[in-house]
Structure 1
Amino acid sequence: MYKVHAPEAMNQAFVMAFNNRKIDIILSLYADDAVLVTDSAGQPLFGKESIRKRIEDLLELSDTMTSRDTLCMAHKDLALLCADVDLRLGKRVISTDKMSALVRRDPNGHWLYAGATLPGI
């Protein structure tokens, strides 16, 4: 399980795991009760098993992800993150979108995604 010790490091940890195809590391960044939204209809996915399936789909459809953080606003055990995210297939950008996430610090001091959006394809 991968541990993130600062909220501003969350998105880069996700991108590194995504680009290295490490689905278990990606899932370790999510709380057990996390929610994820990845499509324009805004249909939420609840829990790690639903999130796993969607992340696997994104991994099949794209080669790499880049993330440019635009906001990290932390207060106590919560933080709001925003970033501009690109998904690429080869050198071609196949999706560009804004991402947002609510992360929380667990009792051990590690940060986890509680709710997040990711680009859809």
Structure 2
Amino acid sequence: MASCPCGLPEAYGACCGPFHRGEQHAPTAERLMRSRYSAFDVGDRDYLLATWHPDTRPRRLRLDPGQEWLRLEVVGHTGGSLLANEGTVEFRAYYRHRGQDDVLHENSRFVREAGRWYYVAAL
């Protein structure tokens, strides 16, 4: 059983899969960020758009089939807990694009509205 693309030890079907299938909502900002990373990995554009805050969500999202996501490293976070309404998550997402390895280092802002976490923007 392979671990989830988000880096947690559970299998995708039990880890980020329930979020992607709409069976559950991510309980914290970090879990939302991890589930969004997994959505990039599995090509789930609809989930990415649904979890992007309406104020900053793009009209369209094109995923590059030439981009392979390799691993996620969570560097740290502020807020974003079960009882918070906002938070940040700093991470490094390692990827390969057309044979070239690279890393996306970002500190992302998240807000919770009506009980659901949303990605707002990179800080």
Q: With the length of structure 2 as denominator, give the TM-score of the two structures.
A: 0.67
Whichever residue aligns with residue 29 of structure 1, its letter is T
Residue 98 of structure 1 aligns with which residue? 105
Query: Which of 84, 95, 119 lines up with 2:92 in the alignment?
Result: 84
C-alpha deviation, 1:93, in angstroms: 5.1
Judged with a 3 Å threshold, the aligned counterparts in structure 2 of structure 1 residues 20 and 7 are, in CA distance, closer, same or farther, namely: same
Alignment of 1:7-26 (within 5 A): 7-26=29-48
Q: State the aligned residue count.
A: 98
1:61-108, Cα deviation, whole Å (9 max, x unpaired): 302252211111106311011001111248x5532131111000012x
Q: Distance in 1 between matches of 2:52 and 2:89?
A: 14
Higher strand share: 1
| Structure 1 stretches of 4+ moved >3 Å | none
1:32 matches 2:54: yes
Residue 120 of structure 2 aligns with which residue? 114
Counterpart secondary structure, 1:31: coil
Higher helix share: 1
Q: Which has the higher contact order (CA 8 A, sep 6+)?
A: 1
Residue 58 of structure 2 aligns with which residue? 48
CA RMSD of aligned residues (A): 2.3
Alpha-carbon contact 1:11-1:67 (below 8 Å) kept: no
C-alpha deviation, 1:10, in angstroms: 1.8
